[in-house]
Chain A
Amino acid sequence: MSTPTQTETAPKSTFARLRDLWNDYLPYWFMAPMVLVMIMITFFPGAYDLYLSLIAEPTLDVFAADFVGLRNFETAFTRGGAIHSFVITITVVVSALLLETILGFVLAALVAGVGSDRAKSFYRVLFIIPMAVAPVSLATIGRIMLNSEIGIIPYVINTGTPFVAPNFLSDVPLLTVILLDAWNWTPFMFIIFYAGLSSVPKTLIEASRVDGAPMWRRYVHVIIPYMKPVVFVATLIRLIDLFRTFGVVYGLTGGGPGTATQLVSINIYEQMFINNQITVAAAIAVVYLVLVVALCNVIIAKVGFEGVWD
């Protein structure tokens, strides 16, 4: 039995210990609700997706599941066509992102250069309209407008130009998908770039003009460097959104002809709902998730958020 010494302090009450615990970890307590929400909406589904990708069939009792290692991944990358759909996705993402960035910037620069405020307002509204169309509606409208029998676009090309319209959905489906996405989302880039251009200080532009810089030099050496954070954020958001593309392509081509426009998202959907291969769909989704996370890391590490968030 020990004897209390003089240096030993009196034991703290339970309330005092709880109060200390609260004060010592105060920031964490404040963060806790948000962290819990984040875990529920992101990490739990992610972990469940990983679990599904490693078992033979979903079961109500997770401990009774038959773990099959990487078999679902093997199936996904052999007969599941995952590699092909990754190639298609990257082609669409890179092409559409480049197209939308360039077109969005050019349109923003043109509208910013318009003198009349009324004309500027008109163009702003005009260029934003396509963005307001829902993906499934856009796909339906696209199918009708591109239909070789009753579509307006082949009709105009055949009757108003010396060219013969291709069968957009069967001859050039990937190009058609990229162009339709560009039509739908260039307005997003336009609106952000237009706001960015409006924020460039007039004094900077005036100074470069006084120094005798022609317009292209003003853009290359003054305006674009100043807008780098805006361009970076816009392209990053659009990049992430492009990886999520599904509705417009599925509605337009269904991923075909064959698998010519089968994005990863469509492949996952077909594995899940057409082939009834839930675990193979989960395996592809896991790989897709890892790749998107890795890509975001690489881009941010190489380009950085300097001048944007830091």
Chain B
Amino acid sequence: MTNSNRRTFLKATGVGLLSGLAGCTRGGDGSDGSGSDGSSGGSDGSDGGTSTDGSDGELAIPLSEYEDADIDWRQFEGSSINIGAVQHPWVSAIKPAVPVFEELTGIDVVWNVLPEQQFRTKRQTDVSTGAGQFDVFYMDQVVNQFREEGWIQPLDPFFDDDSLFDEDWYEPDDLFEASRWQAHGGGYSDTWTGMPITVEVQTQFYRKDLYDKHDLEVAETLEEFRQNAQAIHENESDVVGTVGRGDKGYGMNIYILNTFLRQNGAELWDSFPDDSGLDSDGVINAAEWYVSLLQDYGPEGASTQTWSDVLSTMQEGRAGHIVSDANLFWPGLTGSDSSVADTIGIAKVPSPADGQFSPNAFNWQISTSKNAQNSEQAFLFMVWASSQPTNTWMHVEGDAAFSVRQSVWENDEFRSRVGENFAQVTLESLQAAAPDPFDRKYPEWGQRYSEELQRAIAGQKSAEEAMTQAASIAEDIYSN
């Protein structure tokens, strides 16, 4: 190689290497925009030993609420725990009560709160490298992947420890069955993989004024839901019959479709891991129904609608009805941001005439890793955070509306605060909820399944072709 060539090569290599690496690092900046919220590292005030509500020196919840428990709360006095969490309403709802835990146990709490994608990266690195920085961390649909890799610790030994857990006081049966089931890896685990902290369940929201105007009854069946959409779509000039999540990704189109396919009698994985069930009649019928509903009575470009598009379209009064999460959408649709706040009604999601009512739901849970330095302290925090006194306080005194405890949804003060109808519809939906079972490769095949559904909604292929392809992909992922 001549000097000239070498110099040229070095220049090009330098330019290319820099640009390539810059490209890699830039890959993550589009999702959540901002970096840490500044609360990383526990500098948010809740990591000290100050055990007060902050204003008048009194604890948010009296310690006597916890003294009936046959638990040795103070056995780890003087230690501290690190909590890894996403920016989420649960964090802001529980933080004012954390001094109660610190006073009760003598354990300091250090928060590491990050935007969701940043948190996922940090969590993955923490558990896979064995660093064990987090004693407690948020856990979601990757639960079985983490469990099978041995990255999270089963909680059952802690439940069996009399100094850490009092079943009579904690009342685990007060947790919704759907929440307990998802905390057991969605049926894939015999042991507790974490403690559920929030639950979201799907409900139906509709425009009461438009329903009155067109003399429509709230839909109980899928056919009625479609007829209502048609009536509004064809008789209102600026309003579409319905709007739904069409974009790809978990929490988008498949999160809604999974409700309808289960109500159609189908399941994800007829026989795990050989038969995904995605090409079964129940799934194909549900997909055809959802795709044609959005294509016929939804907005143009339905395949690119995210949950926030659905929310804003409904808030602006441009849709007749939707199916979405009660807890997430109710405040947005009935708050000051909504131009139709006074006319929003809530009802249970429709189901097939001969099907079973079983709306989809999603639980966030908190888990502890096998490398955590303070797993027992972490477990005490989980018990305290998901206990009845803490949950009730967050929902009665705070503005939370995502409790995993049935008693909270039956609490008169809470029902009075959030509205009787909202509370009752949500409670009944939670009692019948059927969350998604997150097998260990769900993040991978679920993404591909949602891409295929998006193609069908965009009209690029039929729903049957899309689901058949999705079935093939899911089974192929497990066969390799």
Contact = CB atoms under 8 A, between A and B. Distances in A.
A61 B131 CA distance: 10
Q: Secondary structure at chain B's binding surface: helix, strand, loop or mixed?
A: helix
A267 to B, nearest CB: 10
A277 B149 CA distance: 13
Interface in B264-312: 299-304, 309
A292 interface: yes
Interface residues on B, range: 35 or more
Contact of A254 (B18, B20, B249, B452): B249
B301 A170 contact: yes
B247 interface: yes
Contacts of B447: 270, 274-275
Interface stretch (B6-14, B156-164, B183-191, B327-335): B6-14
Interface residues on A, range: 35 or more
Nearest to B129: A60
Interface in A73-111: 75, 78-79
A304 B11 CA distance: 11
Contacts of B57: none
A275 B457 CA distance: 23
A156 to B, nearest CB: 15
B240 interface: yes
Contacts of B477: 79
B303 A170 contact: yes
Given A256-B304, A257-B455, A274-B249, A246 B27 contact: yes
A34 to B, nearest CB: 12
A75 to B, nearest CB: 7
Contacts of B304: 143, 169-170, 253-254, 256-257
A225 interface: no
A289 interface: yes
B30 A250 contact: yes
Interface in B187-237: none
A253 B306 CA distance: 10
B12 A296 contact: yes
A251 B30 contact: yes
A43 B22 CA distance: 12
A205 to B, nearest CB: 32
A294 interface: yes
Contacts of B250: 274
Nearest to A61: B130
B142 interface: yes
Given A246-B26, A258-B460, A305 B11 contact: yes
Given A240-B19, A297-B12, A149 B454 contact: no
A300 B12 contact: yes
Given A149-B318, A246-B29, A273-B121, A59 B20 contact: no
Nearest to B23: A244
Nearest to B239: A149
Nearest 10 pairs between A and B by C-beta?
A: A148-B300, A293-B16, A247-B30, A296-B16, A289-B20, A244-B23, A60-B129, A240-B19, A167-B301, A297-B12
Interface of A: 41-43, 45-46, 49, 57-61, 75, 78-79, 135-136, 139, 143, 147-150, 154, 167-171, 236, 240-241, 243-244, 246-248, 250-251, 253-259, 265-266, 268-270, 272-278, 285, 288-289, 292-297, 299-301, 304-305, 309
25 contacts: A42-B21, A46-B17, A49-B24, A58-B129, A59-B129, A79-B473, A79-B476, A79-B480, A143-B304, A148-B299, A149-B240, A244-B22, A251-B30, A255-B248, A257-B304, A257-B457, A258-B454, A272-B27, A274-B249, A285-B24, A289-B20, A292-B20, A297-B9, A297-B13, A301-B9
Given A246-B23, A273-B117, 17 more contacts: A136-B33, A148-B301, A168-B301, A170-B301, A244-B23, A256-B247, A256-B454, A258-B451, A259-B451, A265-B27, A266-B27, A274-B447, A276-B124, A276-B142, A276-B444, A295-B16, A304-B8
